[in-house]
Structure 1
Amino acid sequence: MSENMKKLQVPIELFHPFFFSEKEISLDLPEQISETGENFYYELLFYNGIEANRPWTNPERFVALIQDEWFNVKPIIEEMHHQRKKDGIKEAMKKAIGLFLQFLYWSNGKPVFLKEQLVFGEIRIKPVNLEERVGFIISRPSLYHSYVQLCELMIEQEKLFAKNIMIKKASSRS
């Protein structure tokens, strides 16, 4: 175990059985962090009281990192489905779903908050029928249709986020 590795409790705010099967997680805590890395990395630190970046306070900067990571993960999942490889799809989709949830919450200026039953009532900028769509994806992550649905959610959230930024900039000029 490296000297930067630290065991952290998975906080109640993030404990969802799809993402975390254990109550503890080992994280590498480098001095400078600039990537999304582990799903909910910054939230794990935040909810454990560890000082680190808070990407939800500067979503324009950090959402770009999520999008970069999405464009790395997306072709891997696409290829797995194309070759009908079932091994590894669930883990890759877990990463991709985590990226979407980070994008969703951060673009709303909030840290990710998970519950057993995902409810997004406090989220203002979000795609239509979000609860049902995310619920479907999480319940069947290996299906190709789940992957397609996740891609659609990413596109919709990107558009909503861009629209919100333009509205904020327009209102600040008035």
Structure 2
Amino acid sequence: MRLLIISDIFGLTPAFLAFAELFEQAHQVHCLSPYPDSPPEFNNDTQAYEYFLSSCGHEQYQQQILSFLKQHQGVDTIIAFSAGASALWQVSAHNELSSVKNIISFYPSQIRNQLTSTPRVPTHLIFPISEPHFSVDAVLEQLAGRVGVSVEKTNFYHGFMNAQSRHFDSYAYQQFSQKIVAQLSAL
């Protein structure tokens, strides 16, 4: 199986790459970052987001993902985080995902502004317990019953899978990592 893992605003950090290593024995893994080079080390989520906006931004990240998928046909599954998950939501409405069978997206907060998009691939969206700029429950309500979209609301905060985020939760990281490894092994 060919697996694409799309990073959040922190890029390809050692922790992100360690997550990708969980899948490397059983899958051919590709990692995608919004940055062509290694970003600086960030002191906090706000600093990382400001750097993301100034050096890439949401639309450019969408184009990077789309370009990658056009060049690397045969990706079966995509796992995406935060800004990467939000960008993927827009890309998932395109035909270029014809080989993709499964998308797993963690805390794609920007999709609140893109709820008219419809992914062409079965997509599982994993949301945090709350978000500071919008009601998670209202977004979940709008996504309820959408064909090909399943949603999950966790008890954790945005960034719980990222060791560099202030909301990192090691328990949640372990639980979701094990769940995804098992899920992909069953495919």
Confirm or deny a common fold (TM above 0.5): no
Greater relative CO (CA pairs within 8 A, separation 6+): 1
Q: Taking structure 1 as the reference length, what is the TM-score of the superposition?
A: 0.31
Q: Which of the pair is proportionally richer in strand?
A: 2
